[in-house]
């Protein structure tokens, strides 16, 4: 700890020295009147030499009287401009600018130095929370760079080979999670083209069609949702969408069956369970039914339920039903189900 304090003190002293040198040069340089007068005298002497030269040219007949007068007036104006004092407004601006620049540098140099040290240097002397934050920021930046490189390679791969199933699957998940839903839809269309038995891809594609059409429950949405359920009758996202589609078309009995099958996979007392119960009651009421029709699909075995973790995963990357539209899905409860 002793050496760390010495290092910090030396670094601070050097930093203050650099700032002081910048400020001294900016503030003192503007008050050096002798240097300014020397510059003016040099410029005026150069103008005198120029004037003597045009006099010789006129005497030798190489310069007409009109051209001489024009050059003479120009030189007179330049002499006046060199020797005249600055306007008060300009003078105040010239006096304030170095001070403002010095203050800006006094803030910029330490901030840049500390930032560069934390990014490139050894930050282990900081407290544990600061170290954890710096390490987390570095890890996130590295992860984002790696993911961007991976996506670029996968995109190049599918351009060369449109039948690269694994690449399309990874791209679909990436586009979906980052909110690039139009590209995600294209990716999942290629996934189901190459793997027609992928229930999750059909469900994701149905969800994306809803999101990209601003909530429209088109026949294609129903086709994809039912295709997913034909492969996996217990797929949560497909059940959610299929129930919404059936309710939207007035097929309340089927809607109640799908919602009930989904509810059977959610523990009682959970918010999702309660919401699904409300949707079932609404479907029964709208359809004039007294009870849920018999489901042709047998109950899912208890040891294969998968728990709420699997439920959340299939409902869209961890977003519970009722969430707003966004990355990873279109917000199933909030976007497709009728409100009681």
Render pLDDT for 200-229 as a digit per residue (tens, 0 to 9).
999 999 999 999 988 888 899 999 999 999
Predicted local distance difference test score (pLDDT) of residue 318: 34
Predicted local distance difference test score (pLDDT) of residue 80: 78
Distance CA 137, CA 158 (A): 32
pLDDT (mean) for 29-51? 73
Predicted local distance difference test score (pLDDT) of residue 320: 32
Closest CA to 242 of 283, 294, 284, 206: 206
Least confident of 83-92, 317-326, 331-340: 317-326
In Å, how far are 34, 234, 258 from 272, measured between CA atoms? 83, 16, 14
pLDDT of residue 16 exceeding 50? yes
For 59-76, the pLDDT digits (tens) are 888 878 888 888 888 878
For 117-131, the pLDDT digits (tens) are 666 555 555 556 766
Predicted local distance difference test score (pLDDT) of residue 319: 33
H helix intervals, the chain? 2-29, 33-59, 65-83, 88-120, 128-160, 165-178, 181-194, 199-212, 219-231, 236-248, 252-263, 271-287, 307-314, 332-336
DSSP 8-state symbol, 123:
-
For 146-192, the pLDDT digits (tens) are 778 888 888 898 899 999 999 999 999 999 988 899 999 999 999 99
Classify each residue of 39-78 as buried b or exposed e, where b means 16 or more C-beta atoms within 10 Å of its C-beta.
Answer: eeeeeeeebeeeeeebeeebeeeebeeeeeeebeeeeeee
Domains within the chain, CATH numbers bracketed: 2-124 (no CATH), 126-194 (1.25.40), 197-336 (1.25.40.10)
């Amino acid at each position: 700890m002793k050496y760390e304090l010495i290092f910090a003190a030396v670094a601070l002293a050097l930093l203050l020295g650099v700032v002081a040198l910048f400020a001294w040069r900016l503030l003192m340089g503007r008050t050096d009147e002798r240097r300014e007068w020397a510059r003016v005298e040099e410029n005026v002497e150069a103008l005198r030499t120029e004037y003597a030269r045009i006099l010789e040219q006129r005497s030798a007949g190489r310069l007409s009287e009109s051209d001489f007068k024009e050059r003479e007036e120009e030189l007179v104006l330049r002499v006046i401009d060199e020797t005249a004092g600055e306007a008060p407004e300009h003078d105040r601006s010239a006096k304030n600018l170095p001070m403002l620049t010095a203050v800006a540098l006094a803030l910029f140099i330490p901030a840049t130095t500390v930032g560069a040290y934390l990014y490139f240097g050894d930050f282990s002397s900081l407290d544990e929370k600061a170290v954890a934050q710096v390490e987390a920021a570095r890890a996130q930046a590295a992860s984002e760079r790696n993911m961007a490189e991976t996506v670029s390679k996968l995109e190049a791969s599918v351009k060369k080979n449109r039948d690269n199933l694994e690449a399309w699957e990874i791209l679909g998940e990436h586009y979906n999670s980052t909110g690039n839903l139009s590209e995600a839809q294209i990716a999942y269309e290629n996934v189901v083209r190459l793997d027609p038995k992928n229930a999750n891809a059909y469900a994701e594609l149905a969800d994306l069609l809803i999101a990209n059409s601003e909530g429209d429950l088109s026949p294609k949405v129903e086709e994809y949702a039912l295709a997913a359920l034909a492969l996996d009758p217990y797929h949560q996202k497909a059940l959610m969408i299929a129930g919404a589609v059936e309710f939207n078309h007035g097929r309340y009995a089927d809607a109640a069956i799908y919602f009930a099958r989904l509810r059977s996979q959610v523990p009682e007392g959970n918010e999702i369970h309660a919401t699904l119960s409300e949707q079932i009651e609404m479907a029964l009421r709208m359809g004039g039914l007294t009870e849920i029709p018999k489901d042709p699909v047998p109950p899912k075995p208890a040891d294969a339920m998968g728990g709420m973790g699997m439920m959340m995963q299939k409902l869209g990357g961890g977003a519970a039903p009722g969430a707003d539209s966004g990355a990873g899905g279109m917000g199933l409860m909030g976007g497709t189900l009728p409100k009681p």
